[in-house]
Amino acid sequence: MNHLILKSPAKINLFLNILRKRKDGYHEIYTLMQAIDLQDEIVLEKRGKGIAISTDHPDCPTDESNLAFKAAALLLEDQKKSDGVSIQISKRIPIAAGLGGGSSNAATTLKGLNRLFELKIPKRRLYQLAAQLGSDVPFFLGSGQALAKGRGEKLEPVVLFSGYWLVLVYPGFGISTRWAYQNFKISLTKINKEFNLQKIENRKGFFKALLGFDNDLEKAVQERYPTIGRIKDILTSSGAIKSSMSGSGPTVYGVFEHKLKAEEVARKIRRGNWEVFLTQPIPV
């Protein structure tokens, strides 16, 4: 085998609670993540030496700062492989959008190189490598649904209702995750809730449970970028069961029970620089 063609999916945070600031500078979080069928494509191909990145997106880096590059370098060093690889990334997931595109590219590269070079690295070791690359990276090695704690790397796989549709609206600008967390203010009176899996065994229970949780980063980001609030209002007034920002933003999603309604709303709100995606949950 000399090359592989792989799909690299985005994710949304169905909720994101920030519990406290940690001594290591990170934040302790509690979040529910879901993979979706908005996907980049990654082509991995063996080469003599070195790592080469190419992409069709002008804002996607092609040097050592690219997470897929870092993933390849880390895995090859860990396995003491002197072989090289070229990584071609066709981007569909917006960059710095709160959808985990870079983290997904890194995880897909780890999984892909394990197959391409027939390394047979145990899943546990792949998770360890993924955690070194970023908090969201381990999620994309799993089943596509997980509760995440710690920095986001402590995963509890769950089986949730997934028969719904999503309208994603990316307003055309990126937001730094670091900036979003730095500008978040932890409430001293905040009550931390646990997501009760017993309540989401059916469609009605799932939607009801989601309405009890929010994205704690949303307020700070929305104050700086009021467009996010406007998008949320449009989705809610158009019939979304829940509307929220994903991750550190700025992408906003609306949850819809039926595809036809989601398609109608997606057509209605396309405007200006906004990118609108109709998507649905998937397993990784």
C-alpha atoms less than 13 angstroms from C-alpha of 240 in its C-beta half-sphere: 24
Q: Which of 127, 95, 149 is nearest to 275 (CA)?
A: 95
pLDDT value, residue 284: 62
Which of the four pLDDT bands, split at 50, 70 and 90, describes residue 71? very high
Domains and CATH numbers, the chain: 3-157 (3.30.230.10), 165-279 (3.30.70.890)
Which of the four pLDDT bands, split at 50, 70 and 90, describes residue 192? low
Beta-sheet strand order (sheet of 242-245) = 242-245, 252-256, 165-170, 275-279
pLDDT value, residue 113: 98
Mean pLDDT of the chain: 92
pLDDT value, residue 197: 57
pLDDT tens digits, 226-241: 999 999 999 999 999 9
pLDDT tens digits, 36-55: 999 999 999 999 999 999 99
pTM of the entire predicted model: 0.93
User: To 10 degrees, what angle do helices 67-78 and 123-133 make?
Assistant: 130
pLDDT tens digits, 94-121: 999 999 999 999 999 999 999 999 999 9
Residues annotated catalytic, as ranges: 11, 136
